[in-house]
Amino acid sequence: MTNTQPAPAPENSAQDLPTLKVAVLGAGTVGTEVLRLITEQGDDLAHRIGGRLEVIGVAVRDMARDRGPHVDPSLLTDDPSALVREADLVIELMGGIEPARSLILQAMEHGAAVVPANKALLAQDGATLYEAADRHGVDLSFEAAVAGAIPLVRPVRESLAGDRIDRVMGIVNGTTNYVLDAMARTGASFDDALATAQQLGYAEADPTADVEGHDAAAKAAILASLAFHSRVSLADVHCEGITSVSSQDIAAAERMGRTIKLLSIVERVPGQDGERISARVYPALISSEHPLASVSEAFNAVFIEADAAGSLMFYGQGAGGAPTASAVLGDVVSAARQRLRGGAGLRESHYAALEQIPLEQLRSAFYVSLRVQDRPGVLAEIAGTLSSHGISISTIHQQLIEEDEDGSASGQGSAHIGITTHRALESSMTAVLDVFSSTSTVLGVDSVLRIEGE
Amino acid sequence: MTNTQPAPAPENSAQDLPTLKVAVLGAGTVGTEVLRLITEQGDDLAHRIGGRLEVIGVAVRDMARDRGPHVDPSLLTDDPSALVREADLVIELMGGIEPARSLILQAMEHGAAVVPANKALLAQDGATLYEAADRHGVDLSFEAAVAGAIPLVRPVRESLAGDRIDRVMGIVNGTTNYVLDAMARTGASFDDALATAQQLGYAEADPTADVEGHDAAAKAAILASLAFHSRVSLADVHCEGITSVSSQDIAAAERMGRTIKLLSIVERVPGQDGERISARVYPALISSEHPLASVSEAFNAVFIEADAAGSLMFYGQGAGGAPTASAVLGDVVSAARQRLRGGAGLRESHYAALEQIPLEQLRSAFYVSLRVQDRPGVLAEIAGTLSSHGISISTIHQQLIEEDEDGSASGQGSAHIGITTHRALESSMTAVLDVFSSTSTVLGVDSVLRIEGE
Ligand SMILES: NC(=O)c1ccc[n+]([C@@H]2O[C@H](COP(=O)([O-])OP(=O)(O)OC[C@H]3O[C@@H](n4cnc5c(N)ncnc54)[C@H](OP(=O)(O)O)[C@@H]3O)[C@@H](O)[C@H]2O)c1
Ligand SMILES: NC(=O)c1ccc[n+]([C@@H]2O[C@H](COP(=O)([O-])OP(=O)(O)OC[C@H]3O[C@@H](n4cnc5c(N)ncnc54)[C@H](OP(=O)(O)O)[C@@H]3O)[C@@H](O)[C@H]2O)c1
């Protein structure tokens, strides 16, 4: 079968098109890939934009370092401030708070559209940037800052703009997903899995920002702002990392038909005084049947529940030079098109201004793993403590400990018990853990994990 | 932790905002849900748009029918043509080619933005609509036409605009996925699974458009146009449905660690005479490990491979009133924003004008199931036929048939053999099947399925 459409009308050759001056701040992992795409896809980009991108400079710190075949050395500069004053479009790939923030604000003041991949800055001080973009009538787009290559900002801001997002639950940090997945696959401890991840380049030498959940929390803040049209910054996000997840926890999860993932969760919480929102990050148990459970290695995925759309999931590579550059360039094409047409695209709105609900007031189902004295009546005592705090037990799993590991039980045998609860107030669970810490029946609380998505 | 951002500046109350006149053509499954969302989310939409949507009329055929609480009877009209002349924005939810096409063209001529969910029209005559939108400088957006609630058009058109899409492989028809999934889960025949799907509302009384692959082919045409910036219409799409998929095929797939899905595939095919594109729909075997394999029931999912982004997958509900309405409203919000700001958003570009590669010239791996005479030398003969056509065998699975089912083997025993091949030219496989049909060794060709995604 052949194409029965009329031949396309001849379009302008890409050479005749207007030019947009692009400043690239940073030529590291992402910057070099962005420059590669701009070079290799030049003609395609020109057609899609209706104009050509001309890179007028690339700001770096070290002018001497060789940056490979895609970075023209004559474009390098160590004066980013002079560079942004000349640009129509500024791509910020330096990272960090300063000088990135000042340069972005300066660029906007000069009327340039800005595309930052800088999740740290957006999470910490997004409001300042949104406000400046609005004031100067310029585009600010940051698809790359949330989940790398996965289109997420645009679907949330635009595709779901006619719907009501109730909850977003994402695996948005590749390092921690790699570590947890390796622990589950191999039975390795956290430390060993992390060491392997570092050897393979999935974790940095200093993994703090990833394993402590800070990176995932930054993304949760950005997502919550977009999904709920409210100002949410990093400081608003409750954040727990994965450093205390043990191989025992992983094994217990598997026994329950669940798996442990570091989740960034943002959701609307209805209440008597109106609706509030919650943004939080912690390792949680999810059913092995949940679409997020099968996200392996360093992949990212984001699960969205919306009123009309129902459940949606987006899956892909959340980091890496090329995937992140793909997201950056998508924003660059949109901003460039808008720019040539005059005016800015989407303005960030925080009209809803929903309040945050403190973690203590949330309700979750819990998994609690305890070391207890092995004597009659212990289970009844623990169940009684939970019940007196309004927490009802869903399942109990008990296991005798052969050897008395720490001697603290002074000759008595001890046992592990794993309890899952129905949904209960965080503050009630905190109170219960206080009781456990002061009773001789409970020798130790090994872990407390929330159960999500059920 | 509390929100440390300054209190949001007071924004205009939604009442003071400018108004956009909206015409809704059709008040069926999707139309009533669109009207529900416009009513229920009115204030939110107004904030997101910066203007209010005012529904000025709803076109239907039957003015007398009750359409539930979300359709104001006083807005009903059976004169859609008069309605579109008054509108700033036309939502087309009637379906079919005419009068939908004429009404859309008329609306654009009057300067209205148009949001159709009409996949049939877009696939058959998208080029005419794109061209008209371009000529009149109005927005034409059709997220709902491809995969219901799943944001796909926007990610492909915008998020990946700076990347190079190599291949899109989608499950974009919920009915056929439901039927194939039911066959795999229960061992049911195609007819029984289809009957169940009809009872449960997953298949229409006349299921032809779904089971013959026409609906999936329409979506493939739209996707190929967007992904490759080339004109592709329904007539260009090679299309095979699922009616001949047997429970034996499903069982054989499972034995091989694979599953059968109806796939819409659009891809770039590099070649000596430059790059061409292919758009096709057929039931294919994919590995059970492939992310598309676990898409169950009537869900849709689209898997995209791009140069820089790598693999992406989008998953969600591909049909149904509310999910489709969500996608429609997302487009409405974008179009309305653009409209208030003056000018149109994205213009469809077909600059690449890539040619189609005919199916015969494609290379695929195949699964072929044959009924053969059960005598020595048969396997060697079949292997020889394949090899003389340049097709090399990957695996062979043989099974003796206890009873001579059709008598055609005249007293001789017969056997089933299932062969998988390495990648081979479609035309070579056609030639081999011709040979098989003329030799007495092969009693019948039960099925030929392609293997994808490996
Ligand atoms: N890498 C990823 O996978 C990924 C994914 C999503 C988002 N991001 C975000 O993308 C941004 C860039 O990440 P990256 O991995 O490409 O970082 P990187 O490899 O460390 O590169 C940073 C670049 O910025 C330059 N730079 C830093 N401070 C500067 C200053 N004060 N003046 C001039 N140039 C300066 C550096 O110059 P020198 O080369 O001279 O030191 C370097 O070229 C960050 O915001 C990051 O969070 C990264
Ligand atoms: N349903 C889905 O899940 C889904 C998903 C994706 C895309 N879509 C697309 O969305 C569109 C609408 O689908 P639907 O399921 O909502 O269809 P539907 O339930 O059959 O509704 C069609 C509506 O259009 C009206 N209509 C039809 N022809 C008309 C004419 N000549 N003049 C005036 N009104 C006319 C009908 O009026 P009466 O009520 O008076 O007959 C009815 O209200 C189709 O293009 C479909 O392909 C649907």
Looking at ligand 2, which residue's alpha carbon is closest to its atom 15? Answer: B29
Q: How far is A303 from chain B (nearest CA, A)?
A: 9
In a domain, A351, yes or no: no
Residue for token pair 């129509």: A88
Lowest mean pLDDT among A166-175, A199-208, A279-288, B336-345: B336-345
The domain spanning residue B389 has which CATH number? 3.30.70.260
Q: What is the mean pLDDT of residues A87-98?
A: 97
Considering CB atoms only, which of B233, B310, B327 is closest to A316? B310
Q: What percent of chain B has pLDDT over 90?
A: 85
How deeply is A11 buried, as exposed, middle or buried, from its count of CB atoms within 10 A (0-12, 13-18, 19+)?
Answer: middle
Same domain for A93 and A223? no
CB of A51 closer than 6 A to ligand 1?
no
Same domain for B218 and B295? yes
How deeply is B95 buried, as exposed, middle or buried, from its count of CB atoms within 10 A (0-12, 13-18, 19+)?
Answer: middle
At residue B142, does pLDDT exceed 70? yes
pLDDT band at A409 (very low <50, low <70, confident <90, very high): very low
Same domain for A309 and A332? no
The domain spanning residue A173 has which CATH number? 3.30.360.10
In a domain, A4, yes or no: no
What is the per-residue pLDDT for B454? 86
What is the per-residue pLDDT for A348? 64
What is the per-residue pLDDT for B81? 97
Q: Which domain holds residue B403?
A: 359-451
Q: What is the mean pLDDT of residues B33-41?
A: 96
Same domain for B143 and B174? no
Q: What is the mean pLDDT of chain B?
A: 92
Cis amide leading into B99 (omega within 30): yes
Per CB-CB distance under 8 Å, the chain B contacts of A7 are 353
In a domain, B350, yes or no: no
Task: Report DSSP state, residue A73.
Answer: G
Considering CB atoms only, which of B2, B44, B162 is closest to A329? B162
Q: How far is CA A167 from the centre of its chain?
A: 14
In a domain, A348, yes or no: no
A346 to B325: CB separation less than 8 angstroms, yes or no: no
Q: What percent of chain A has pLDDT over 70?
A: 93
Strand partners, B286: B259, B452
Retrieve residue A172's tokens: 């948005």
Q: Does B85 touch chain A (CB under 8 A)?
A: no
In a domain, A117, yes or no: yes
Q: Does B291 touch chain A (CB under 8 A)?
A: yes
Q: Which of B21, B119, B219, B261 is catalytic?
A: B219
In a domain, A26, yes or no: yes
How many CA atoms lie within 13 Å of B383's alpha carbon, on the beta-carbon side?
9
Per CB-CB distance under 8 Å, the chain A contacts of B44 are 164, 229, 352
pLDDT digits (tens, 9 = 90+) for B241-251: 999 999 999 99
What is the per-residue pLDDT for B12? 47
B337 to A346: CB separation less than 8 angstroms, yes or no: yes
Q: How far is A304 from chain B (nearest CA, A)?
A: 9
pLDDT band at A13 (very low <50, low <70, confident <90, very high): low
| Atom number of ligand 1 nearest to Cα A32 | 16
Q: How many CB atoms lie within 10 A of CB B161?
A: 25
Q: Are B203 and B179 in contact (CB under 8 A)?
A: yes
Same domain for A140 and A178? no
CB of A117 closer than 6 A to ligand 1?
yes
At residue B322, does pLDDT exceed 50? yes
Q: Among B363, B370, B378, which residue's Cα sits nearest to residue B422? A: B363
Same domain for A189 and A306? yes
What is the per-residue pLDDT for A4? 41
How deeply is B380 buried, as exposed, middle or buried, from its count of CB atoms within 10 A (0-12, 13-18, 19+)?
Answer: exposed
Q: What is the mean pLDDT of chain A?
A: 92
Residues 143-172 in A contacting B (C-alpha not used; CB under 8 Å): 143, 149-151, 154-155, 158-164
- Calculated CA dihedral for residues A81, A83, A86, A89, nearest 10 degrees: -100
CB of B59 closer than 6 A to ligand 2?
yes
pLDDT band at A5 (very low <50, low <70, confident <90, very high): very low
The domain spanning residue A57 has which CATH number? 3.40.50.720
pLDDT band at B346 (very low <50, low <70, confident <90, very high): low
Retrieve residue A234's tokens: 């990093």
Boundary of a domain, candidates B284, B317, B350? B317
Q: Does A17 touch chain B (CB under 8 A)?
A: no
A323 to B334: CB separation less than 8 angstroms, yes or no: no
Q: What is the mean pLDDT of residues A270-287?
A: 95
Within 8 A by CB and 6+ apart from B168, the residues are: B156, B223, B224, B227, B264, B265, B266, B267, B302, B303, B304, B305
The percent helix, strand, coil of chain A (3-state, each to 5) is: 40, 25, 35
Retrieve residue B127's tokens: 């080029």
Element (H, E) at A279: strand A276-287
What is the per-residue pLDDT for B3? 41
A229 to B48: CB separation less than 8 angstroms, yes or no: yes
What is the per-residue pLDDT for A346? 63
Same domain for A327 and A372? no
pLDDT digits (tens, 9 = 90+) for B147-170: 999 999 999 998 999 999 999 999
B330 to A161: CB separation less than 8 angstroms, yes or no: yes
Considering CB atoms only, which of B229, B313, B337 is closest to A316? B313
Q: Are A344 and A427 in contact (CB under 8 A)?
A: no
Q: How far is B32 from chain A (nearest CA, A)?
A: 12
What is the per-residue pLDDT for B259? 97
Looking at ligand 2, which residue's alpha carbon is closest to its atom 30? Answer: B61
Q: How far is B206 from chain A (nearest CA, A)?
A: 26
- Measured in Å, how far apart are chain A's first and last C-alpha atoms? 49
pLDDT band at B61 (very low <50, low <70, confident <90, very high): very high
pLDDT digits (tens, 9 = 90+) for A135-186: 999 999 999 999 999 999 999 998 999 999 999 999 999 999 999 999 999 9
| Atom number of ligand 2 nearest to Cα B30 | 16
Same domain for B176 and B287? yes
Retrieve residue A194's tokens: 């992390």
Amino acid at position B326, single letter? S
| The total number of structural domains that make up chain A | 3
A351 to B3: CB separation less than 8 angstroms, yes or no: no
Q: Which of A115, A158, A164, A339 to mutate to test the interface with B (most CBs of B within 10 A)?
A: A158
What is the per-residue pLDDT for B342? 73
CB of B322 closer than 6 A to ligand 2?
no
What is the per-residue pLDDT for A342? 73
Same domain for B92 and B176? no
Q: Does B355 touch chain A (CB under 8 A)?
A: yes
At residue B10, does pLDDT exceed 80? no
Per CB-CB distance under 8 Å, the chain A contacts of B237 are 1
pLDDT digits (tens, 9 = 90+) for B69-128: 999 999 999 999 999 999 999 999 999 999 999 999 999 999 999 999 999 999 999 999
At residue A9, does pLDDT exceed 60? no
pLDDT band at B398 (very low <50, low <70, confident <90, very high): confident
Residues 326-345 in B contacting A (C-alpha not used; CB under 8 Å): 326-334, 337, 341-343
Buried-state track A234-260, b at ≥16 Cβ within 10 A, e below 16: bebbbbbbbbebebebbebbeebebbb
At residue B6, does pLDDT exceed 50? no
Ligand 2 centroid, distance to B118 Cα (angstroms): 9
At residue A24, does pLDDT exceed 70? yes
Angle between helices A214-228 and A119-136 (to 10 degrees): 30
Buried-state track A395-425, b at ≥16 Cβ within 10 A, e below 16: eeeeeebeeeeeeebeeeebbbbbbbbeebb
pLDDT digits (tens, 9 = 90+) for B290-309: 999 999 999 999 999 999 99
CB of B29 closer than 6 A to ligand 2?
yes
Q: Among B219, B223, B311, B227, which residue's Cα sits nearest to residue B275? A: B227
Residue B110 φ/ψ, nearest 5 degrees: -85, 5
Q: Are A369 and A260 in contact (CB under 8 A)?
A: no
Same domain for B165 and B308? yes
C-alpha gyration radius of chain A: 25
**C-alpha span between B324 and B332 (Å, rounded):** 12
At residue B8, does pLDDT exceed 60? no
Same domain for A328 and A381? no
Q: What is the mean pLDDT of residues A3-21?
A: 60
**C-alpha span between B302 and B313 (Å, rounded):** 6
Within 8 A by CB and 6+ apart from B409, the residues are: B373, B374, B443
Buried-state track B29-65, b at ≥16 Cβ within 10 A, e below 16: ebbbbbbbbbeebeebbbbbbbbbbebbbbbbeeeee
Same domain for A89 and A212? no
Considering CB atoms only, which of A127, A308, A313 is closest to B37? A308
Q: Is B219 a catalytic residue?
A: yes
What is the per-residue pLDDT for A341? 79
Per CB-CB distance under 8 Å, the chain B contacts of A233 are 3-5
Considering CB atoms only, which of B37, B231, B235 is closest to A162? B37
Q: How far is A289 from chain B (nearest CA, A)?
A: 10
Q: What is the mean pLDDT of residues B132-160?
A: 93
Sequence length of chain A is: 454
pLDDT digits (tens, 9 = 90+) for B167-192: 999 999 999 999 999 999 999 999 99
Residue B280 φ/ψ, nearest 5 degrees: -155, 160
At residue A2, does pLDDT exceed 70? no
Retrieve residue A31's tokens: 């910057």
pLDDT digits (tens, 9 = 90+) for B275-288: 999 999 999 999 99
Query: Higher model confidence: residue A344 or residue B123?
Result: B123
Residue A296 φ/ψ, nearest 5 degrees: -105, 170
In a domain, A1, yes or no: no
At residue A340, does pLDDT exceed 90? no
What is the per-residue pLDDT for B413? 82
| Atom number of ligand 1 nearest to Cα A62 | 40
At residue A103, does pLDDT exceed 60? yes
At residue A7, does pLDDT exceed 70? no
Pocket test for ligand 1, best of A35, A61, A141 (most atoms within 8 A of CB): A61
Residues 96-135 in A contacting B (C-alpha not used; CB under 8 Å): 127
In a domain, A155, yes or no: no
